[in-house]
Amino acid sequence: MRPGKVPYNTFVRSIDKTITPRQPFVLRGVGMGHDSSAFDVSQDGALVVSQTLCLHADLAVQDSAWLAADFYRTVNDLYCAGAQPKALTAAFLLPDTWEEEDFRKLVLMLEQFCENENMEYAGGDTKIVGAGAVTKPVITLTVYGTRDLWAESCASYSKDARKASEAYFKPKGGESLLMAGYAGDTGLALASLHGDELLSRRYSQAVLAAARACLKDLSAAKAAAVARRHGITAMHNISSDGVFGALWEMADGAGLGLTADLRAIPVLQQTIEISDYLELNPYRLEACASLLMACDPAEADAVVSELHACGVPAACIGRFHQKGESVARILKNEDEERYIDRPGGDELQAFLARN
């Protein structure tokens, strides 16, 4: 495609005729001549927004898993905030070597993801640039949603809504630490796509297919819905630095210590074995649909049982320390204890760089 704005016919074929309006939340979405999008939050409380930058958009044309992981990582940020994702905007920066059909494939993928979550693709921007500016697509995804229970968070801090919302989403001292989902499954699945030739020498296609099965459902909607029914407000998704990074971030954000049991963390045996073969740490790999939760100890068993009933693997993996206790983040493995290191890099990106 030629540098500049996307041509009119391309816009009509690849975007305007591709997108289906489905959310009354979106007052103005995709359309020729629309310079902005408009959302109705009059009845739904606070507007909640999250954004991500897609680093592997060129690979997404061959395999939607990369784009799906970026999309659902952002959507799951909203589920962690107790919000309902409702709309997506996307900004594309494309090299002029790209053809219209490639662009259309990306838009169709995003539209399908939106349909899966009952969201609406509400617009964005697209620019095509000449040689040298970018060598592969750069995509920014922004997800918008609403949280209708925000008033609860302000009950004890009516004069300071920001303080209220921040306190509402943090773990409390003494709460149980739950995990919903498996550790490292998404990161391992994406790594296996990149290292398919290497892995095929050692593992059958059936084993590799099982390792990639998680890519069919990356939404944390079911786990977040269970948490919400039990009044859980402190949740954290397990993104690029894996469950170890998520544990450290959740505790640090609350100014608390924690103790987690390594053997209680849900993880698939195939994730451990293939990660070891690829020299990856499964506990430092992304688990897109997995969440950490802080829960009243009296509710922990009921939450885990309901998650299991919904088909979500879950376990109580530890506890948050009381205020005044050590702020150390401790990982137990039978009789051994060690400190959890602060997040220090993306295990998957390091793998891609050396392969």
pLDDT band at 160 (very low <50, low <70, confident <90, very high): low
With bands split at pLDDT 50, 70 and 90, how would you rate the model's confidence at 11? low
Neighbours of 198 (CB within 10 A): 13
pLDDT above 90 for 39: no
Tokens at residue 39, please? 């959302």
- Residue 345 or 348, more confident: 348
Q: What mean pLDDT do residues 295-303 have? A: 95
Phi, psi angle pair for 242, to nearest 5°: 70, -170
pLDDT (tens digit per residue) in 170-205: 899 999 999 999 999 999 999 998 888 889 899 999
CATH 3.30.1330.10 domain position(s) in the chain: 4-151
Question: Start-end ranges of CATH 3.90.650.10 in the chain?
Answer: 167-354
pLDDT at position 286 over 50: yes
CA distance to 60, 69, 189, 192, 355, per residue, from 197 (Å) = 18, 22, 14, 9, 11
* Assigned CATH topology for domain 4-151: 60s Ribosomal Protein L30; Chain: A; (3.30.1330)
Share of the chain above pLDDT 70, in %: 85
Q: What is the fold of 167-354?
A: Phosphoribosyl-aminoimidazole Synthetase; Chain A, domain 2 (3.90.650)
pLDDT at 353: 80
| pLDDT per position as a tens digit, 335-344 | 999 999 887 7
What pLDDT sits at residue 203? 92
Nearest to 293 by CA among 273, 320, 269: 320
